[in-house]
Amino acid sequence: MKTSTGDDQRQKETPSPSPSPKQYAVVKHLTQNIQPNISSELQLLLLTFSTGIQDATTVPDYHCFSSNQTGNTIFLCLGLVLPHLNGDVFVTANIGISLGLFLGAGWVTGQLSHIIGPRKRWWLFLCNFIQTCLVFAAAAVQYIHGTEIQGPQALSVIGLLALAAGSQVVQSRSLAMTEISTAMATAAWVDLLIDSKILAYHNRPRSRRVAFLLALVLGGFVGAFIYREVGSGTALAVSGAGKFIATVMYLFATAEKDCDEDSVV
């Protein structure tokens, strides 16, 4: 019987192929941390605009918000105390699924961000890509089944949008730009009004809040116009397109400098 000990030994001694410089560059690029800068602000504002479009369609269609959970929280309280208003002023099931999935998505994304790194390029790209797919899926449900205020189709659309929104709002914290929450406007209005330097020429936090509020209002107007003219399915598709652009931008966003580079004198 022939032995293969020599062949096995040579196979063990054969070194595995090392990554090519191109592969190494791709991996390094994807594992870099995104630098919070003007480009990141534009991405968050684009996401805010897309959020405004979504809420402008879910309120008239389903009597709830997909992103603004302040309103949903109050509606949920009303639904528990005044159930006879269900279906006219709000839909309790829709509000419950929106609030619950929003909080769940925010919790999962936030906790994983602590482990992975909140500003890792590949992580931000992946999160935004999944969110984009969820919004397009919601638009597809509306195109196929239409809109009904209650029922499985309504819960599907609201659930998909709430999952996307809950994951999305984590990004303003990840990028250290809490002035652009991408969804909730109340804190931005208050912080803007009480800013002691509201009229100062150089005031970045003030400028971010103003830009955020303008983007949210503009998204609301655009969403309402599209809803009136061609329907909510198209409005959600436009919102998804905006999120897709923001997703692609993460591939080209400026990275933070390495510690070694920062230490060079």
Among 85-99, 133-147, 191-205, the range scoring the smallest mean pLDDT is 85-99
Residue 249 has pLDDT above 90, yes or no: yes
- pLDDT score, position 262: 38
Residue pLDDT, tens place only, 149-168? 888 999 999 999 999 999 99
Distance CA 76, CA 120 (A): 36
- pLDDT score, position 45: 95
Number of other residues whose CB lies within 10 A of the CB of residue 243: 26
Residue 5 has pLDDT above 60, yes or no: no
pLDDT band at 261 (very low <50, low <70, confident <90, very high): very low
- pLDDT score, position 263: 34
Quick check: is 27 in a domain? no
Residue 9 has pLDDT above 60, yes or no: no
Choose among 238, 251, 254: nearest CA to 132: 238
Residue 14 is encoded by which pair of tokens?
A: 């054969």
Q: Give the structural domain span for 129.
A: 34-254
Quick check: is 5 in a domain? no
- 91 CB-contact burial (10 Å; exposed 0-12 / middle 13-18 / buried 19+): buried
For range 71-85, the mean pLDDT: 85
Quick check: is 56 in a domain? yes
Quick check: is 71 in a domain? yes
Distance (Å) of CA 248 to CA 105, 109, 251: 21, 19, 6
Domains held by the chain: number: 1
CATH number of the domain that 205 lies in? 1.20.1250
Quick check: is 39 in a domain? yes
Give the rounded percent of residues in the chain with a pLDDT score beyond 70: 90
- The values of phi and psi at residue 195, to 5°, are -65, 120
Per the prediction, the chain carries an average pLDDT of 87
